[in-house]
Structure 1
Amino acid sequence: MSATMRAVVVDQAGGPEVLQVRRIPVPLPAPGWLRIKVKAFGLNRSELHFRQGQAYSGTFPRVPGIEAVGLVDQDPSGWLAPGTQVATMMGGMGREFDGGYAELVTVPAAQVIPFRSDLPWEVLGAVPEMLQTAAGSLRVGLEARDGQTLLIRGGTSSIGLALAVLAKARDMTVISTTRSESRRELLESVGVDHVLIDDGVIAPAIRELVPDGVDGAVELVGTNVLRDTLRAVRTGGVACFTGMLSDQWTVSEFYPMDWLPNGVRLTAYSGESADLAPATLQDFVDEVAAGRAVVPVGRVYRLDDIAQAHRDMEAGTIGGKGVVLT
């Protein structure tokens, strides 16, 4: 192996053009860390925010990327043999230390999840962060139970699609929103029961479908529609704030008595690699291999296409999870 590798480097915040593919030294794993030969990585909006200089953490210059899948290249501790399939995410990846937009990445061993699968890398690359966020929103954010009704606000996002797949596996009735009629088929393809076209106010339409309100709602659009989402939830139900597709993060005039309907609970979810159990990851990729679950891959790119991939992510035209093959 040569002493350099190809990686995407961001020297300072800016537009997609600041994502520069170049050769940099191969990283060496520190004690307690291991090195992964990256086969694929998913694209995430938090990487967009980091590149734009909007993130609350991280420093430049930096190799971005909060997740990756690949093969163990070097594990000084001997825990995992070279060639073991692994996923990794979060924990400061792509912010505090160099992340997954590279041929090789070093990460703390504690945030490495081994698995076994014959699925193609472009499918596996879409899974870790998407599955962790979707599964965590259901399990921790909503404490969802089988057979409940679920509203997914922002249903065509990769997490929204993954939520639908996981919820249908639990016999839940799924209502997903999209701003475009052209996305109806995509939502129905992952098992969504009711597709609602979102014009900014959906609570009345939800109440027509479910008069008492849904058991749980996952908010993926942002604070600009959160108040309306809360009004679609039944007394005793839960709304979980997970995403900000609108890039509106904060509520300027939060008046709880007005915002929160009686007895409706508001939670939030943002997890780490430790929140995705190896068994959950293994079970999910096995279900996909068996044809009982789908991974909503929107578009696959090469490392050299990274600037275009970010343009597409910014424009919201990927239609599922964007994945980059190294």
Structure 2
Amino acid sequence: MKAIAITSPGAPDVLRAIERAAPVPAAGELLIRVAASGINRPDVLQRKGLYPVPPGASDLPGLEVAGQVVDGDAAALAAASIAVGDRVCALVAGGGYAELCVAPVGQCLPVPRGLSDIEAASLPETFFTVWSNVFERAHLQPGETLLVQGGTSGIGVTAIQLAKAFGARVIATAGSDDKCAACVALGADHAINYRTHDFVAEAKRVTDGRGVDVILDMVAGDYIARELQCLADDGRIALIAVQGGTAAQIDAGAVLRRRLTISGSTLRPRSVAFKTAIAKALRTHAWPWLEAGRVKPVIHQVFPAAQAAEAHTLMESNQHIGKLVLTW
């Protein structure tokens, strides 16, 4: 099969097209002929040598794919009501930048009705991450307010739409007026340009001083102390990345007095059982929203797989809105 490999840690040009033997599905796995592969920020970190591959996972980058099932564990396929020939999208721990990819059956979902393989490939990583952190860890409820940091990222566009479909109010931050407008177009009730406005003051203003209930944060660093000021009493921060650094100085007394929660998680190293449970929740709750058009994939640009380096360059420029996808 053809694949895109990281030849050494470094800049985007270390991504090279290679040929290697096709993977063989083990017990509980299926083999997908990949039509499209989603690109995510962890792929960039792995390329730079900053995100180690979990034990047993492919060394190839790529955490989500969509395509056609071509082989697999017959018993596992039958138990999941998946058949050879079905179109699926899948969350994987690696190996997504390839023509063929193995995936645990429980981490596979049918391509939502009406969606292309390119659209489906943009779903798993962000949908699993947002569902796990916003709805399960931070327990966002209908009628509550969610603040999404980085509203035009792949995670951001997913969080805005899922929270609105769930009945929450959404505030998003972004780095330009155009990106703020894109957040509002996706359903955000308010968008804050963090380069020209203090997001703490703005979040307080648009909530009449109450603050927000949940914050989805991929920045960390000095953002955490500021985010604690944004929270309403009993508010929760769901931390999913540390793009702004790992060190934070906070007012622990305020956390105690106001019953605040800071929660963090990473998805890639979690167990297949954990991810399977998220897949079931998405199938029940989010997939009907996708099929009804209430939530839509947001694709900024599609690249032939051979142009993976160009796609990574664009991702690192932070000029995109939504997802970048490779096709095979």
Structure 2 CA distance, aligned partners of 1:122 and 1:202?
A: 34
User: Alpha-carbon deviation of 1:213?
Assistant: 0.9
Which runs of no fewer than 5 residues in structure 2 stay unpaired?
A: none
- 1:100–1:251 Cα change, 3 Å: same
**Alignment match of 2:289 (pick from 284, 287, 290):** 287
User: Alpha-carbon deviation of 1:28?
Assistant: 2.2
User: Alpha-carbon deviation of 1:61?
Assistant: 9.1
For 1:40-189, what aligned pairs fall within 5 Å after superposition?
40-57=36-53, 62-78=59-75, 79=77, 80-90=82-92, 93-94=93-94, 99-115=95-111, 117-189=113-185
User: Alpha-carbon deviation of 1:258?
Assistant: 7.0
Deviates more, 1:155-164 or 1:104-113: 104-113
User: Alpha-carbon deviation of 1:180?
Assistant: 0.8
Q: Return the structure number with greater helix share.
A: 2
Structure 1 CA distance, aligned partners of 2:53 and 2:245?
A: 15
Structure 2 CA distance, aligned partners of 1:294 and 1:41?
A: 17
Query: What TM-score results when the alignment is normalised by the length of structure 2?
Result: 0.87
CA contact (8 A) 2:5 2:18 kept: yes
Letter in structure 2 aligned against 1:22: I
Instruction: Look up the match of 1:320.
Output: 322
The alignment of Structure 1 onto Structure 2 pairs a total of residues equal to: 314
User: Alpha-carbon deviation of 1:217?
Assistant: 1.3
**Alignment match of 1:12 (pick from 5, 8, 22):** 8
CA contact (8 A) 2:30 2:73 kept: yes
User: Alpha-carbon deviation of 1:283?
Assistant: 5.2
CA offsets per residue over residues 108-137 of structure 1, 9 Å max, x none? 334333455331111111111111111222
For 1:205-244, what aligned pairs fall within 5 Å after superposition?
205-210=202-207, 211-244=209-242
Q: Secondary structure at 1:144's aligned position in 2?
A: coil
CA contact (8 A) 1:132 1:275 kept: no
Q: Secondary structure at 1:169's aligned position in 2?
A: helix
Letter in structure 1 aligned against 2:15: L
CA contact (8 A) 1:65 1:101 kept: yes
Q: Secondary structure at 2:8's aligned position in 1?
A: coil
User: Alpha-carbon deviation of 1:282?
Assistant: 6.5
- 1:216–1:253 Cα change, 3 Å: closer
- 1:304–1:47 Cα change, 3 Å: same
Structure 2 CA distance, aligned partners of 1:145 and 1:307?
A: 40
CA offsets per residue over residues 268-322 of structure 1, 9 Å max, x none? 2433532423462475344334322221222111101100000011111221111
- 1:116–1:233 Cα change, 3 Å: closer
Structure 2 CA distance, aligned partners of 1:189 and 1:85?
A: 30
CA contact (8 A) 1:16 1:307 kept: yes
Which runs of no fewer than 5 residues in structure 1 stay unpaired?
A: none
Letter in structure 1 aligned against 2:117: W
CA contact (8 A) 2:301 2:325 kept: yes
Letter in structure 2 aligned against 1:274: T
Structure 2 CA distance, aligned partners of 1:32 and 1:162?
A: 29
Structure 1 CA distance, aligned partners of 2:173 and 2:311?
A: 24
Deviates more, 1:5-14 or 1:288-297: 288-297
Between the aligned residues of both structures, percent identity stands at 27
Query: What TM-score results when the alignment is normalised by the length of structure 1?
Result: 0.88
Q: Secondary structure at 1:69's aligned position in 2?
A: strand
CA contact (8 A) 1:8 1:102 kept: yes
CA contact (8 A) 1:85 1:116 kept: no
Letter in structure 2 aligned against 1:142: A
User: Alpha-carbon deviation of 1:207?
Assistant: 1.2
